[in-house]
Amino acid sequence: MNRYFAVAQIAAVMATLVLPVASHAGDEVVTDYVVEDSFENVHQDLSDAIVNRGYHIEHAGDVGGMLKRTGDTVGASKKVYENAGFLQFCSAVLSRGAMEADPSNIAFCPYVVFAYETPDAPGKVHVGFRRLTPRGSEQSIKAIADVNALLDDIVREAAGQ
């Protein structure tokens, strides 16, 4: 009985130590900036910020169009976005560095940046990216930090910051 109580106490203490970290880490998963401009302009600025660095956009996704097209099929009535899209691309140099450091970093390729505008805030466009989680060796952590810095530079440029 005493052993059970001790294990329960340790578990409770560990939970109080871990939960604030997990909650805080969740706040930094997505980085986005708000721009007052048309969606079309911001999306084009995002594309230009990628292409002007010499990268090739592998895929452009129209999330807003997909949700609109499938809304009736899934029984949805709420309009989530006025416009929403994402762009996928990779950097041969940064991707190679990340994958040489840890082959499982292939999971981070391609990189994805997004832009969206909601129906209740037309003209306020969010532009951003999902941060890659630093992991593995020091070399891997640095390589992932370099990718996050690139993604932040790209979305900041598109946001005019």
Domain coordinates in residue numbering, the chain? 29-159
Considering the four listed CATH numbers 3.30.310.70, 3.40.50.300, 3.30.43.10, 3.30.750.24, the one that applies to the domain covering 29-159 is: 3.30.310.70
- Quick one: tokens of 137? 């060796």
CA distance 113 to 147: 12
Q: Summarize pLDDT for 30-67 with one digit per residue, the tens.
A: 999 999 999 999 999 999 999 999 999 999 999 999 99
Looking from the CA of 77 toward its CB, the CA atoms found within 13 Å total: 0
Question: What's the whole-model pTM score?
Answer: 0.81
Query: Per-residue pLDDT for the chain (161 aa), expressed as one digit of tens each?
Result: 554 444 334 333 333 332 332 223 345 899 999 999 999 999 999 999 999 999 999 999 999 999 999 999 999 999 999 999 999 999 999 999 999 999 999 999 999 999 999 999 999 999 999 999 999 999 999 999 999 999 999 999 999 99
Q: What is the pLDDT of residue 27?
A: 56
Q: CA 43 to CA 70: how far, in whole Å?
A: 23
- pLDDT at position 108 is 95
